[in-house]
A and B are shown apart, each in its own frame.
Chain A
């Protein structure tokens, strides 16, 4: 099934060169949630780029992951404005509440944390985004509430 998704992405780039590597990685990750080893090898064969170099590129950029994100992917902005407004405390609270470090996914697969350099919503600092939805001027006290909201949502769905 996974092979299919990757092949579909690659099918959009016939005869592509190295400059299409990052767009392809982005699309494959979009389709599969993360970069599987087999996917990386397939991309390498398609583009004629060595796997070592694809791995080098994928580990260079923050965006690429080698394990699936949680159902709720939490991005926390660690830009300057957010820092001045207390985002370090937010991150601490998140880590404590979820018991995982940034870049990792909780064992139940529900949450993953990603630290982003700056979301560009400095006027609303501190900001976190859950599955792309922004939450402005978040306080540490609100974190458990937000997380519980997510848990509730996931229970409702299942």
Chain B
């Protein structure tokens, strides 16, 4: 099928939209509501293009191509209409770009700029709606919302949570929770996928940078930072460096420039998690269940399970997440051992995740005081780096601190969907057989597929394994498991599609290409590593020797494991 786009004839595919054809031609048509991979809703109308045969404006995101079509994507008429639509949005939008968390990343701002909006053409009443600050992770400012509906769609169609929906109608329509309640009483799992797709500053993470700055400024405080495996392969993008670049060494240096006293990779505690979780799996294999065992590192998933499938809570691994294991180890083991008062240790974690802010605040995650004092996202870290005037590209790389600076590449793999499974399988195999897997790489659990399955025979026992990411996919899988349609021994669940490399705290403008690059980067680190299994990490062995006895011991349980309980929310 042939169509003409801006005078150029091109081959188009049956059933594709004008927008998809145009993008293949390298033509960018602006849109505010389009979501790759989901059916079009035709909400924003910004993507209208002119059908040259009829002179009509048609939405390129939803209109299928037809043979002989002649389209002008940027005709005068189309551009003028787009501009008016943007002007209309601005007319009911707050005028405070300078104070907006979306400043610089806001798509509305960019389009206003690109379309040459230089004056306030329309003005009038705006809807006054209160800020929702009830959530520990996400701030919602409905006044900045342009009702593109992307957050609603990601929350229901991708994550299957549906904490928010459109409410009301006409000009008083808005997006909110049931009964206009705050996010904190809704079923929101704090995953932040809504934040990732919001084109304006209506959805942002709760900013914890100031608390970190205050601690850094306090000479009596020892400020310790841990950083998640998926942060070092994405932070670079915030500074214009190629997606997928691994900059962990430079990041370590940046932390020290900012005044952090200790820098530990969370990959270390990921190794610790592997030890505990593999041990738990081995125990369950020996005692016959309960199966499947679910991973527990992703706090969005855990809250989802508590809300939607409380009857399955017994299946979740009792292991704390790597963030919380590291937090507990720092405050409860390392600080006393180092002669520090735990109350004078300020524990910061940098996470690709907004749900981690919620997790750190869970009452189970501390010993009176929280184990982790502040959680900041990759984006907040980038903000701090900029604030401190650090040129990340010219920094000289530095090593992490001991005693928790050493990590296996298995712990690093936690950043991608399938990584926990791969790391745990390597160690579980060793625990049961005393040998390492011949081929450490488990290809079947790698990649961006929604659900990945494989079987692994260890010591004559065949284990059925599954990896799922995105809560919508997880929910479907879970229902199949409950209905007896699927059967597994061990299931890894990541809240965000693709895992932490696509987490809700990652740089904006995340697209599948970037996610793939970040994933490849983690795989490359694993390929090039010499230490590729958690059980060979000498620092881990030392930790057990000095403090925790052995995996699954009473001490280990006290510090590294947790409990879950059903959660009543508006769902």
Our verdict on whether A and B bind, yes or no, reads: yes
**Interface size on B (CB < 8 Å)?**
18
Cross-chain contact B179 with A56 (CB below 8 angstroms): no
A114 to chain B, nearest CB (A): 15
Given that A56-B165, A59-B169 are known contacts, is A51 also in contact with B156, CB under 8 Å in the complex? no
Q: Which residue of B lies closest to A61 (CB)?
A: B169
Name the B residues within 8 Å of A51 (CB-CB).
178-179, 570-571
Cross-chain contact A56 with B166 (CB below 8 angstroms): yes
Name the A residues within 8 Å of B186 (CB-CB).
52
Task: Identify which of A37, A44, A56, A59 contacts B571 (C-beta below 8 A).
Answer: A44
Given that A37-B179, A40-B178 are known contacts, is A52 also in contact with B164, CB under 8 Å in the complex? yes
Q: Which of A1-60 contact B (CB under 8 A)?
A: 37, 40-41, 44, 50-56, 59-60
Q: How many A-B Cβ pairs are below 8 Å? A: 47
Cα A54 to Cα B156 with chains together (Å): 13
Q: Which residue of A lies closest to B168 (CB)?
A: A59
Cross-chain contact A52 with B163 (CB below 8 angstroms): yes
Cross-chain contact A59 with B570 (CB below 8 angstroms): no
B563: Cβ under 8 A from any A Cβ: no
Given that A41-B570, A55-B167, A59-B169 are known contacts, is A50 also in contact with B156, CB under 8 Å in the complex? yes
Name the B residues within 8 Å of A52 (CB-CB).
162-165, 176-178, 186-187, 570
Task: Identify which of B156, B168, B169 contacts A53 (C-beta below 8 A).
Answer: B156
Cα A50 to Cα B169 with chains together (Å): 19
Name the A residues within 8 Å of B571 (CB-CB).
44, 50-51
Cross-chain contact A55 with B162 (CB below 8 angstroms): no
Cross-chain contact A50 with B187 (CB below 8 angstroms): yes
The 8 A CB mask of B429-457 against A (1 = contact, 0 = none) is 00000000000000000000000000000
Cross-chain contact B570 with A53 (CB below 8 angstroms): no
Cα A50 to Cα B187 with chains together (Å): 9
A21 to chain B, nearest CB (A): 13
Q: Which residue of A lies closest to B175 (CB)?
A: A56
Cα A51 to Cα B179 with chains together (Å): 9
Q: Which residue of A lies closest to B188 (CB)?
A: A52
Given that A41-B570, A44-B571 are known contacts, is A50 also in contact with B179, CB under 8 Å in the complex? no
Cross-chain contact B162 with A50 (CB below 8 angstroms): yes
Cross-chain contact B165 with A53 (CB below 8 angstroms): yes
A149 to chain B, nearest CB (A): 34
Name the B residues within 8 Å of A37 (CB-CB).
179
Name the B residues within 8 Å of A53 (CB-CB).
156, 162, 165
Q: Which of B142-168 contact A (CB under 8 A)?
A: 156, 161-168
Q: Which residue of A lies closest to B164 (CB)?
A: A52
B122 to chain A, nearest CB (A): 26
Name the A residues within 8 Å of B169 (CB-CB).
59-60
B63 to chain A, nearest CB (A): 26
Cα A56 to Cα B156 with chains together (Å): 13
B181 to chain A, nearest CB (A): 9
Name the B residues within 8 Å of A50 (CB-CB).
156, 161-163, 165, 178, 187, 571
Name the B residues within 8 Å of A55 (CB-CB).
165, 167, 177-179
Name the A residues within 8 Å of B177 (CB-CB).
52, 55
B72 to chain A, nearest CB (A): 36
Cα A51 to Cα B177 with chains together (Å): 8
B184 to chain A, nearest CB (A): 14
Residue among A50, A53, A66 with most chain B CB within 10 A: A50
Given that A41-B570, A44-B571 are known contacts, is A54 also in contact with B168, CB under 8 Å in the complex? no
Cross-chain contact A59 with B156 (CB below 8 angstroms): no
Q: Which 3 A-B pairs have the closest CB atoms?
A: A50-B162, A56-B165, A51-B178
Would you mind naming 9 contact pairs between A and B with Cβ atoms under 8 Å apart? A50-B156, A50-B571, A51-B571, A52-B165, A52-B178, A53-B165, A54-B178, A56-B165, A60-B168
Q: Given A40-B179, A56-B167, A59-B167, list of 11 further CB < 8 A pairs? A: A44-B571, A50-B156, A50-B162, A50-B187, A51-B570, A52-B186, A55-B167, A55-B177, A55-B178, A56-B165, A60-B169
